[in-house]
Amino acid sequence: MAANGSSASCLAFLKQIGRLKHLKRTGWVLRKVNEPETVSGHMYRMAIMSFLFDDDDGVDRDRVMKMSLVHDMAESTVGDLTPHCGVSDEDKHQREVAAMESFRSLLGQKAGTEMYDLFMEYEEQKTKEAKLVKDLDKFDMILQAFEYETDQDRAGTLEEFFKSTEGKFTHPKIIKWIEQLYKERDEKLKSY
């Protein structure tokens, strides 16, 4: 195995993470969505959403952005496991922690530890930044569901994604986005 932080270990890490560019999100695949988004596409939009927050929102935007980019990184190793995959939440968590530990080992103290710590912060859901990233994760999912319903002429067919997030958002800005999203979705559904 290559030494921590060496060019060889960095390249090995980058090739592993590159798998996320092609890993389709399981929920959309199971619902037979045409050309479903990839895990990296999901993480990218979450990171872009982070730009829309600042100190006035009570969070460290850079930390939110980094956490958005790291929160699903382990899926490059373990896959995009959903409740429909027959893997317990505990087993899923253990597999993801092991993947993040392997990345930390490959990358060494600085970058590897930062990524690992951000992932664990997200998993533990104890900070305001982690809670916001969880909100962004769920919001991106329902925004994507709405886009699929609209773009693929599937009005109302992805309702379960909306139902699964009802009442689970905490950040005031995200709640306003959701109100707007529901308003647009209701208008779209009425037009069918």
User: Domains in the chain, please, with CATH?
Assistant: 7-190 (1.10.3210.10)
Give the span between the Cα atoms of 96 and 115, in whole angstroms.
12
pLDDT at 150: 96
Beta-bridged to residue 10, according to DSSP, are none
Give the span between the Cα atoms of 112 and 3, in whole angstroms.
13
Q: How far is CA 143 from the centre of its chain?
A: 13
Which residues in the chain land under pLDDT 50? Answer: 1
**pLDDT tens digit sequence for 110-142:** 999 999 999 999 999 999 999 999 999 999 999
- How far, CA to CA in Å, does 180 sit from each of 2, 28, 184? 49, 23, 6
Q: What 3-state class would DSSP assign to 147?
A: helix
Give the span between the Cα atoms of 109 and 114, in whole angstroms.
8
To which residue do tokens 């104890």 refer?
A: 126
